[in-house]
């Protein structure tokens, strides 16, 4: 698989920024869309020349909300990708979207240009909750977009949900999950709300004006999702992700399995040839660069071997199946026990890890305390 690569494309525009969002994104910046896309397409072309001998196995277009782009700009990005890269025959091509942005013309354009997986940010089914977190769609918008996508022929759809929202009850959460199980998306992502400082929610929290979920409530919602979705034939394959058989997100699996990926667009983070770097976060600088890679790359870091060992562990342990000791040793040519034997023994005794022959994985208790486990593998 050394000849394969994953690509991430960032579109930093959205209709309205949610109250919890700390991603690199902007609302009310429509006038910047065209110059941004022109710069992005130049960056894509340069990477295409650089990676002429690679096949692209997965593409993920994220944001922001990529589907707020006008059709002509979306088409330019998709055509540029197809002209610049060789795609594998088993290509997984995902685009993120929000309800209300997937009209018939957009969906046809996406489908006709190799996109075969949609990710739709529903977050909750209660309109009152959606409004309280700054979402501008309602459940009807989602329902219309989802069924239109099905009608047009999309057979692989992910839906994002968030739990531990302010004033969200376990009954609300159960209702959202029940709704999804009825409409049967192939993949469901369940994320616990994280309140970041530089967001409206962060400001409200610092002022003591935000009603936060308790840790017990957070865990109750997580456990409910695990049990309910597994009972309904969704495989729990990663801490926050559930899928029907064979519909795991291959793009995300590549990241968790510590495989290389390249990101294009504002603020995109790349991991390639043992190096990590990101593109600039300044929109004007990115546009002015006209996509010249060397002008936008920042914080280039050659990852020390010790850090690679650690990152392999805490990314791989996010997967419910865990990691293979043999695969670790084959990749790094070093004894696993020599590096981590004592730590694994300690975590097994604490009932946070399960060691089963060649395999190490998080226990049910470990899933709740995963950050404690991951910290143990820092060298």
What confidence tens digit (pLDDT) does each residue in 322-373 have? 999 999 999 999 999 999 999 999 999 999 999 999 999 999 999 999 999 9
Strands 241-243 and 187-192: antiparallel
User: Encoding tokens for residue 289?
Assistant: 């660069």
Q: How confident is the model at residue 116 (pLDDT cuts 50, 70, 90)?
A: very high
pLDDT value for 197: 82
pLDDT value for 200: 76
What confidence tens digit (pLDDT) does each residue in 78-100 have? 999 999 999 999 999 999 999 99
For the CA atoms of 212, 376, 227, 143, the dihedral, rounded to the nearest 10 degrees, stands at: 60
The answer to whether residue 36 scores a pLDDT higher than 80 is yes
What confidence tens digit (pLDDT) does each residue in 128-173 have? 999 999 889 999 999 999 999 999 999 999 999 999 999 999 999 9
Beta bridge partners of 14: 27
> Distance between CA atoms of 246 and 187, rounded to whole angstroms?
10
The answer to whether residue 51 scores a pLDDT higher than 60 is yes
List all residues 6 or more positions away from 112 whose beta carbon is below 8 Å from its beta carbon: none
Q: What are the chain's domains? A: 4-256 (3.20.20.70), 305-376 (1.10.10.920)
Q: How confident is the model at residue 248 (pLDDT cuts 50, 70, 90)?
A: very high
């Amino acid at each position: 698989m050394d000849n394969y690569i994953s690509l991430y494309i960032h579109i930093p525009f959205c209709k309205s920024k949610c109250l919890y969002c700390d991603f690199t994104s902007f609302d009310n910046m429509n006038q910047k869309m065209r110059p941004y896309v022109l710069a992005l397409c130049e960056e894509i072309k340069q990477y295409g020349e650089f990676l002429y001998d690679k096949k692209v196995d997965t593409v993920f277009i994220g944001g922001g909300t990529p589907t707020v782009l006008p059709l002509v700009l979306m088409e330019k990005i998709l055509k540029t990708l197809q002209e610049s890269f060789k795609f594998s025959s088993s290509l997984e091509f995902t685009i993120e979207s929000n309800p209300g942005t997937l009209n018939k013309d957009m969906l046809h354009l996406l489908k006709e240009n190799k996109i075969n997986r949609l990710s739709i940010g529903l977050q909750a089914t209660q309109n009152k909750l959606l409004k309280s977190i700054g979402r501008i769609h309602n459940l009807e918008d989602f329902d219309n977009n989802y069924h239109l996508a099905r009608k047009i022929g999309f057979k692989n759809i992910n839906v994002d949900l968030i739990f531990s929202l302010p004033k969200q009850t376990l009954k609300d959460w159960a209702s959202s999950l029940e709704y999804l199980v009825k409409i049967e998306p192939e993949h469901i992502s369940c994320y616990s709300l994280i309140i970041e400082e530089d967001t409206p929610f962060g400001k409200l929290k610092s002022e003591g004006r935000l009603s936060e979920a308790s840790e017990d409530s957070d865990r109750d919602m997580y456990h409910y999702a695990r049990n309910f979705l597994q009972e309904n034939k969704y495989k729990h394959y990663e801490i926050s992700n559930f899928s029907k058989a064979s519909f795991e997100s291959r793009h995300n699996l590549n990241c968790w399995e510590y495989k290389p990926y390249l990101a294009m667009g504002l603020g995109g983070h790349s991991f390639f040839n043992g190096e990590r770097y990101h593109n600039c976060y300044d929109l004007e600088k990115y546009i002015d660069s006209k996509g010249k890679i060397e002008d936008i790359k920042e914080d280039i870091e050659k990852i020390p071997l010790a850090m690679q060992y650690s990152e392999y562990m805490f990314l791989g342990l996010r997967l419910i199946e865990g990691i293979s000791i043999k695969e670790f040793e084959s990749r790094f040519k070093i004894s696993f026990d020599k590096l981590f034997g004592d730590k694994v023994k300690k975590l097994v005794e604490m009932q946070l890890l399960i060691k089963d022959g060649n395999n190490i994985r998080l226990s049910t208790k470990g899933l709740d305390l995963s950050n404690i486990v991951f910290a143990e593998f820092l060298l």
